[in-house]
């Protein structure tokens, strides 16, 4: 798996987005990826749970799993993948201008992003919400007590506007202190340069765990926004959009059907459930519309796992997890009262 960093100037964003429709759509993304021999998938700077680096310099996390799933679907090998680490400011430009084939990096699906940037968002892989981290000895117990506070926030994210709206509605007169790098943001907070940090609660939980004294900090109870975090692709390439969408749905559907990376071979060989047999390519021709081989979903599940396996590994209590409970949340399967739902695969 290759690793690459991209640094694009914010000044070129509007030009690149406008030009992308012509340059990136001249050839289908699937054809480009196949000819290149690997997928270019964009994440951000390391963020616990979603995309992080191990001691060997290898990427792992819930969003990385989406990248791996698409690579496995196309090539039968999850490692035919180049991970690109891109700043929040440059992420959408890098996708729109063809530098990246796929964006999978805690990006919130909003109407303006979906309709104005030449992008299409896909099924959310994590439902989050924005909150505030403060020191426990601050005496704060509610975000409504942040009147006049200085809040550290990462620029180029939905968090800026959400905080401004929240401050305005509640007459809090909050001052935004913005940073391009969340590491610098958190370091400034830890050194007393801000009264609080704001961001998606899942990311902040992971960040607190890396603080020198995690027990000295807490996340306030209020959730001030909806943050459906989703992968994105360029607008106008429907075949590529379908391929990525159904690669994500395959992992969700596999969990619903009880198929895991450990039992997928047994299920493929012995299951009488027609839904299982279709998903694993034993019967039917689900692969035809995607331009893939019959074992595309089998390869995803065997090499990457189902959605629940990846949640537990990276967001839950797995060895690499950050301890965010799934039970009773919107990230549960729909059969357990959550929002994780795959349309029928037939």
Mean pLDDT to the nearest integer, 298-322: 96
CA angle, corner 147, sides to 146 and 152, nearest 5? Answer: 55
pLDDT in tens, 30-52: 999 999 999 999 999 898 899 99
The 10s digit of each residue's pLDDT in 217-253 is 999 999 999 999 999 999 999 999 999 999 999 999 9
Give pLDDT, residue 17: 44
Contact 136, 76 (CB under 8 A): no
| Spatial distance between the Cα atoms of 29 and 241, rounded to a whole number of angstroms | 9
Q: Strands 102-103, 81-86: parallel, antiparallel or unpaired by DSSP?
A: unpaired
pLDDT at residue 157 in the model: 86
* Distance from C-alpha of 89 to C-alpha of 87, rounded to nearest angstrom: 5
Give the N- to C-terminal CA distance of the chain in Å, as an integer: 32
pTM: 0.85
Confirm if 17 and 95 have CB atoms less than 8 A apart: no
What ranges do the domains of the chain cover? 2-127+228-336, 130-225
Question: How much of the chain exceeds pLDDT 90, in percent?
Answer: 84
Asked whether the CA dihedral 113, 184, 147, 224 is positive or negative, the reply is: positive
DSSP for residue 221:
S
How big is the CA angle at 335 (ends 333 and 340), to the nearest 5 degrees? 25
CATH number of 130-225: 3.40.190.10
Give me the architecture of the 2-127+228-336 domain, per CATH: 3-Layer(aba) Sandwich (3.40)
Nearest CA to 184 out of 194, 175, 174, 172 is that of: 194
Per DSSP, which regions of 270-332 are E strands? Answer: none
Helix (H) or strand (E) holding 170: none
Across 270-279, average pLDDT: 98
Same fold, 2-127+228-336 and 130-225: yes
Q: What is the pLDDT of residue 315?
A: 95
pLDDT tens readout for residues 42-97: 999 898 899 999 999 999 999 999 999 999 999 999 999 999 999 888 999 999 99
Contact status, residue 198 vs residue 151, Cβ threshold 8 Å: yes
- Residue 215 CB contacts under 8 Å (≥ 6 apart), including other chains: 136
Dig out the tokens for 137 from the structure: 């000895």
């Amino acid at each position: 798996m290759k690793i690459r960093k991209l640094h694009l100037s914010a000044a070129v964003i509007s030009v690149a987005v406008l030009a992308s429709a012509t340059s990136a759509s001249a050839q289908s993304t699937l054809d480009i990826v196949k000819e290149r021999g690997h997928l270019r998938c964009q994440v951000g700077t390391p963020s616990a749970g979603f995309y992080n680096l191990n001691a060997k310099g290898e990427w792992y996390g819930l969003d990385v799993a989406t990248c791996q799933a698409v690579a496995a679907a196309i090539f039968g090998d999850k490692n035919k993948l180049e991970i690109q680490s891109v700043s929040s400011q440059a992420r959408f430009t890098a996708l729109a201008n063809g530098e990246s084939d796929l964006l999978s990096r805690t990006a919130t699906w909003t109407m303006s992003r979906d309709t104005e940037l030449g992008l299409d968002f896909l099924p959310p892989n994590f439902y989050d919400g924005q909150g505030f981290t403060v020191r426990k000895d601050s005496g704060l117990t509610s975000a409504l007590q942040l009147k006049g506070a200085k809040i550290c926030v990462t620029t180029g994210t939905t968090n800026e506007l959400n905080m401004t709206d929240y401050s305005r509605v509640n007459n809090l007169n909050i001052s935004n202190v913005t940073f391009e790098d969340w590491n610098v943001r958190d370091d400034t907070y830890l050194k007393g340069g801000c009264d609080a940090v704001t961001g998606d609660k899942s990311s902040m939980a992971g960040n607190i765990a890396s603080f020198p004294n995690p027990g000295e900090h807490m996340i306030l109870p209020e959730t001030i926004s909806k943050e459906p975090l989703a992968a994105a692709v360029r607008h106008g390439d429907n075949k590529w959009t379908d391929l990525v969408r159904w690669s994500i749905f395959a992992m969700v559907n596999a969990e619903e059907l009880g198929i895991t990376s450990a039992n997928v071979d047994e299920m493929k060989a012995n299951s009488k459930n027609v839904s299982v047999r279709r998903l694993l390519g034993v019967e039917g021709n689900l692969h035809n519309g995607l331009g893939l081989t019959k074992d595309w979903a089998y390869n995803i599940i065997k090499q990457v796992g189902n959605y629940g396996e990846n949640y537990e590994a990276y967001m839950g209590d797995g060895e690499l997890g950050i301890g965010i409970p799934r039970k009773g949340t919107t990230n549960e399967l729909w059969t357990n009262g959550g929002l994780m739902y795959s349309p029928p695969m037939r």
